[in-house]
Amino acid sequence: MAETAHAGDHHGPKHDYNLVDPSPWPMVGSMSAFVLTGGMVMWMHDTAGGGIIALLGLLAVLFTMFVWWRDVLKEAYRGDYKEIVSSMLRIGMVLFITSEVMFFVAWFWGFFWGAVMPPDTVALSWPPEGIEPVPAFGIPLLNTLILLLSGTTVTWAHHALREGDQDTTFKALVLTVILGLIFTSFQAYEYWHAIHAGFTIEDGIFGSAFYMATGFHGFHVIVGTLFLIVCTWRAYGRKFDSKTHVGFEAAAWYWHFVDVVWLFLFICVYVWGGNLEWSLSGS
């Protein structure tokens, strides 16, 4: 018996890191991304078939994301991930969010550059002549309150999960998803109203910086909402526990990042940038 036990000690990994099974998804994902970017370039240059190729690439990327993350969840459910692997996943999410911060810094920099140190190629006034900025204390203020509330509900869900209250976790996540969908709906209405009023992305650096910064933020809200929908589905199936919920933590961190970026957008772009007025001609 002792020899059998000793021999059994040689089976299994001798470390806490998980060596995943061979997977086709990294290669498939790379090829899908290549098709997507190539199709986008073709579409932007009005090449025949570019839009179709970009759409096929996008569908392939979404499919790869679904099946790859499905396999990751299967590995997690099997218990393949030790604490050191979970910590590395958390670090990876932190680095990803850091890269996203730098992404938005570029749009803020472009907006501030146009507002404070305009190049010679832009209008000689701010806002440029003929542009009516979106009122800050309308839908943007309402959306700010909605996102702040969603930040409290996702934190509520996290605390409930850590206490082992699965029912409250599910309910709080449902509220967070609903608030995210409401935010997106209001922003879509804001865009529709602003564009019909004549304010478009083609209105110089003011219009391009405004729509690129707020538009990419809106895209991140949609991604975060989808992230939380998956977490809600997993919470409904009792797939989390009080100690092992790295996927939920990543979604919550991402959502808080979205909240913080919106606060900066509201203060800097809507309130400050929308009410700043100057003219190089002095009129």
Please check the confidence at residue 180 and state whether its pLDDT lies above 90.
yes
Taking the C-alpha atoms of residue 123 and residue 121, their distance in angstroms, rounded to an integer, is: 7
The percentage of residues in the chain with a pLDDT greater than 70, rounded to a whole number, is: 87
Domain 82-279 coded CATH 1.20.120.80: yes
Taking the C-alpha atoms of residue 183 and residue 146, their distance in angstroms, rounded to an integer, is: 7
pLDDT at 219: 93
pLDDT mean over 210-233: 93
- pLDDT tens profile 238-254: 888 777 788 899 999 99
- Least trusted range by pLDDT, from 40-44, 93-97, 143-147, 198-202: 198-202
Taking the C-alpha atoms of residue 50 and residue 36, their distance in angstroms, rounded to an integer, is: 10
Please check the confidence at residue 69 and state whether its pLDDT lies above 90.
no
- Least trusted range by pLDDT, from 7-16, 36-45, 134-143: 7-16
DSSP for residue 123: -
The percentage of residues in the chain with a pLDDT greater than 90, rounded to a whole number, is: 50
- How many beta carbons lie within 10 A of that of residue 101, not counting itself? 12
- Least trusted range by pLDDT, from 173-177, 228-232, 234-238: 234-238
Q: For residue 9, what pLDDT band results from cuts at 50, 70 and 90?
A: very low
Q: Under a CB-based contact definition with an 8 Å cutoff, are residues 78 and 66 in contact? A: no
- How many beta carbons lie within 10 A of that of residue 250, not counting itself? 19
Which amino acid would we find at residue 54? A
pLDDT mean over 24-30: 92
pLDDT at 8: 44
Query: Where are the chain's structural domains?
Result: 17-81, 82-279
Topology of domain 17-81 in CATH is: Helix Hairpins (1.10.287)
Rounded to the nearest integer, the mean pLDDT of the chain is 85
pLDDT at 17: 67
CA torsion sign for 117, 120, 124, 130 is negative
pLDDT at 136: 87
Please check the confidence at residue 281 and state whether its pLDDT lies above 60.
no
Please check the confidence at residue 282 and state whether its pLDDT lies above 70.
no
Please check the confidence at residue 10 and state whether its pLDDT lies above 50.
no
pTM for this entry: 0.81
User: Residues in the chain, how many?
Assistant: 283
Please check the confidence at residue 215 and state whether its pLDDT lies above 60.
yes
Q: Which two tokens stand for residue 41?
A: 């370039």
